[in-house]
Structures are given as structure tokens and as C-alpha cells.
């Protein structure tokens, strides 16, 4: 079940990256290092900040809305995420026992759009959702630092640029999971690090060849 959820997340993340890829697929090799020293934090949000913003909107739609999953979105023309922040996010919600799907889209650090799609999800019990943002004791800036100290992970340059992030639920342990996403040194394989959002412990990691099904 855990592997199935992870593979589902990877598919969603890759689709969001592919949809956001435009003609700006070539860039100066120095951009990456420049961004690392001068991160764009004015509009960038940590995962928890994005969740708080999106959750407020979801509760306006339905007071029973709960967090389901989400990822940062690769719309920036240069690599970002070097400080654990991204400007663009897609955050998904559902309602336990119902099939409603609710998506909050964040662009440039602000809510851009909200979409409710009836009958989009399977009806799932409450334990498959995350009830509140406060369940996340660790956030992306600190977990990225842990990832860089303990693993060999590098920022993307033309696809899934910089470092990306996401979240899901670890059903067996009943805790939220924070994903830190980067690349191997050769930029051939994407690396997914799965951190326990309550303890900060690395629960799992997966290295996957780009575009491989």
C-alpha cells in the first residue's frame, strides 16, 4: 500500500512538472548557483505555509474538508526551492466518506484558483486524510537541510527545477509524510525522500529514472 501511494504521488508530481514545462528549457549553467545564494523568498512558501493558506480556503468550501495530498509545481523559469520554499503549489482535499475532490491552486505565493469536482475520489475513511496542518511538526526548510546532510541529492536544472516538495499520508503509521524531491548528480534519476512529519525521521527513499513508467 505504501509503495502504491508513493508511485501515485510520483505520477501526479511528474504530470504537474510536465504540464508546467515551457519553451524556457535551456538556461545559463550559472543560474543554479546564483539562485542558491539569492533565493526568492518574497513570494515563496514553505509546505506548512502553503497548507495553512489552502486549508483556510478549503474550510470555506466545506467545514469537513481534510488534507489529502499535494506538491509544489514546477512553473518557475529558474531553479528554486533551495531554501525549502516554492511559489507555486497544488493542494488537494477531500471529505471522509464522500467522493468530493477539492483543489486549491497557489501561484506566486497567493491563492489563484479553487476547484470542486464531485464524484472524483473514492469514498475513504477519515484515517486516510490529514486532519490539520498542526500535525506537521517539521517543515520543508529544515527537512531539506537534513536531506542535503544525509543524502546525495541535487537540484534539477531544466525539468523539476531546483528542489520540489510534497506531502501524503503514511497509512500504516498514521502520520503525515513530507517529500523532498531532487536528482542524482547526473540528473538522470529523480530522488524522492520521505520524511515523517512528526519525528523528522527519514522513512523511505526512492530513486526513479525520469519518465520511466
**206-211 long-range contacts, Cβ below 8 Å, gap at least 24?**
206/6, 206/10, 208/10, 210/159, 211/14
93 and 66 in contact (C-beta within 8 Å)? yes
171 and 4 in contact (C-beta within 8 Å)? no
The span from the CA of 84 to the CA of 205, in Å, is 18
Residue 88 pLDDT > 90: yes
pLDDT of residue 32: 36
C-alpha cell at 53: 493558506
What is the pLDDT confidence band of residue 1, given thresholds at 50, 70 and 90? Answer: very low
Q: What would the pLDDT profile of 15-39 be if each residue is shown by its tens digit? A: 455 445 443 433 333 333 333 434 4
What's the whole-number average pLDDT of the chain?
Answer: 85
Q: Is the pTM of this model over 0.75?
A: yes
Domain boundaries, the chain: 2-20+30-209
Q: What would the pLDDT profile of 45-70 be if each residue is shown by its tens digit? A: 999 999 999 999 999 999 999 999 99
Question: Mean pLDDT across the stretch 205-213?
Answer: 76
200 and 143 in contact (C-beta within 8 Å)? yes
Amino acid at each position: 500500500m505504501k509503495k502504491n501511494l508513493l508511485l501515485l504521488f510520483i505520477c501526479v508530481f511528474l504530470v504537474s512538472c510536465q504540464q508546467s514545462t515551457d519553451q524556457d528549457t535551456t538556461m545559463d549553467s550559472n543560474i543554479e548557483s546564483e539562485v542558491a545564494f539569492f533565493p526568492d523568498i518574497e513570494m515563496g512558501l514553505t509546505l506548512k505555509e502553503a497548507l495553512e493558506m489552502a486549508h483556510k480556503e478549503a474550510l470555506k468550501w466545506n467545514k469537513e474538508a481534510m488534507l489529502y495530498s499535494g506538491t509544489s509545481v514546477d512553473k518557475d523559469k529558474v531553479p528554486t526551492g533551495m531554501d525549502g520554499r516554492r511559489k507555486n503549489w497544488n493542494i488537494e482535499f477531500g471529505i471522509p466518506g464522500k467522493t468530493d475532490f477539492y483543489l486549491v491552486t497557489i501561484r506566486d505565493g497567493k491563492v489563484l484558483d479553487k476547484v470542486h469536482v464531485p464524484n472524483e475520489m473514492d469514498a475513504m475513511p477519515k484515517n486516510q486524510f490529514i486532519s490539520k496542518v498542526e500535525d506537521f511538526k517539521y517543515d520543508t526548510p529544515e527537512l531539506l537541510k537534513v536531506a542535503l546532510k544525509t543524502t546525495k541529492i541535487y537540484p534539477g536544472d531544466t525539468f523539476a527545477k531546483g528542489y520540489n516538495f510534497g506531502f501524503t499520508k503514511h497509512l500504516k503509521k498514521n502520520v503525515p509524510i513530507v517529500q523532498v524531491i531532487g536528482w542524482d548528480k547526473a540528473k538522470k534519476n529523480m530522488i524522492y525522500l520521505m520524511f515523517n512529519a512528526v519525528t523528522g525521521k527519514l522513512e523511505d527513499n526512492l530513486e526513479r529514472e525520469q519518465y520511466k513508467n
